[in-house]
Amino acid sequence: MSWFQREIRLPSFPRGCHLVTRSIVEAMPELREIRVGLMNVFLQHTSASLTINENADPDVPVDLARMLDTLASEDFPYYHTIEGPDDMPAHVKTSLTDSSLTIPIRDGRLCLGTWQGIFLWEHRKHGGARRVVVTVNGEAK
């Protein structure tokens, strides 16, 4: 069994869903050494999240973001407002989604479906760069 772990830094993105599959895979060249295993991706922030979703039609992440904005509106009378009007809705959105993903590995590749990609879902207007811990575990080829 082999274990690899690396903290990577994703660039600052505006609010919305941003495809980051390539950035994560390129940051973990050890992935190619794994015959069968798992990759865990953990986001070290509470105002952004991770999701696996369709990476073919650009309308999908736009619609997802619009829907989540409806569920966690900035107009709601939150108590926690010290960090600005988009902060507490960002925490709610993170709680409704995921801060961690686990993806199977087979023959050095992620077992994502044909139209699936890993997205960073930025919930703040200006969230800044984001840190992700990527852990790969598996049986070597």
How do residues 104-134 score in pLDDT, each as one tens digit? 999 999 999 999 999 999 999 989 999 999 9
Domain count of the chain? 1
Residue from 40, 21, 49 nearest 124 by CA: 49
pLDDT at 114: 94
Mean residue pLDDT across the chain: 96
Question: What is the percent of the chain with per-residue pLDDT over 70, rounded to a whole number?
Answer: 100
What span, in angstroms and rounded, lies between the C-alpha atoms of 54 and 33? 27
How do residues 57-84 score in pLDDT, each as one tens digit? 999 999 998 999 999 999 999 999 999 9
Give me the CATH number covering residue 43.
2.60.120.460
Domain containing residue 21: 2-140
